[in-house]
Amino acid sequence: MRNRAFLFFSLIMPITFLFIYAGIFGRGRVQAVPYLLAEVLALTVMGSFWGLSVQLVTFREQGILRRFRVTPVGASAMLASSLLSNYFLTLPTIAIEFFLSRSVFHMSGLGNVLSIFVLVTIGTVTFASLGLIVASVTNTMQETQIINQIIWFVFLFISGATIPFPMLPSMVQAVAVFLPATYLVSGLQRSMIDHTNLPGLGMYLASLGGCAVIAFVIAAQLFRWEPESKAPRQAKLWAAAAVVPFLLLGVWETVNGDLRSHAMKNLQSIREPYSIERIEH
């Protein structure tokens, strides 16, 4: 919480989005709030991508990591503890967003709380680990920032987190089905709107989880303590391995997936008249 970048990406930005979304796009309509909240939750979770990579590179550049290197703490422990602290800082933000949605925007119901909780948990680890990989394959803060920006914009704009998925051109949609962010957004929306339970999100969770595990292992393998040590060339190839689960899911989704129809249905929930039935579903 003493880190300003973290504060911005993980707390201020998502909450600002919540107000903008709910105020402008929702135009005060209560039935739009679950859809919009899901997007904001996804942004919060994806914010972990920034926070951890920037922190790790800062620590490496300032020689903070090398101080830890003379202690018994290993690379995996360092990374795991940063993931864990990031997760525990994300949870309160999520709670605040729910609270604001309920109190300020009069959202009724909470969606499928268990599904949301699991998605947030796995998603936070996934996106944070992806950030750690970026930190491991880049040599300077500048490089990290550039790569982060590029990936971040992709996540932000073609995942449904900002522009609703059905409104994307079909070409872009075809690419989006290979992005972890798309499944995070879709999963959260379905948990919020349709109260989809965990088995219903099985494929999404498995891919996010698989990606998290692979990304973490790769980040630990590529971990560098010393400011002057450079990323090996093959590191960038390794990093690509982290996206394998989503290549598989993307292919499956393209062939026989229902992501599009779900996305359409989710979007329509904004326009549909408010119904008690749905919330108590």
> Which residue ranges make up the site for other proteins (CB under 8 A)?
2-3, 59, 62-64, 66-67, 69-73, 225-227
Q: Which is nearer to other proteins, 73 or 167 (CB)?
A: 73
Q: CB of 138: closest distance to other proteins in angstroms? A: 20
Q: Which is nearer to other proteins, 229 or 275 (CB)?
A: 229
Q: Which is nearer to other proteins, 3 or 145 (CB)?
A: 3
Q: CB of 83: closest distance to other proteins in angstroms? A: 17
Q: CB of 72: closest distance to other proteins in angstroms? A: 4
Q: Which is nearer to other proteins, 117 or 225 (CB)?
A: 225
Q: CB of 218: closest distance to other proteins in angstroms? A: 22
Q: Which is nearer to other proteins, 226 or 272 (CB)?
A: 226
Q: Which of 152, 189, 226 is nearest to 38 (CA)?
A: 189
Q: CB of 68: closest distance to other proteins in angstroms? A: 8
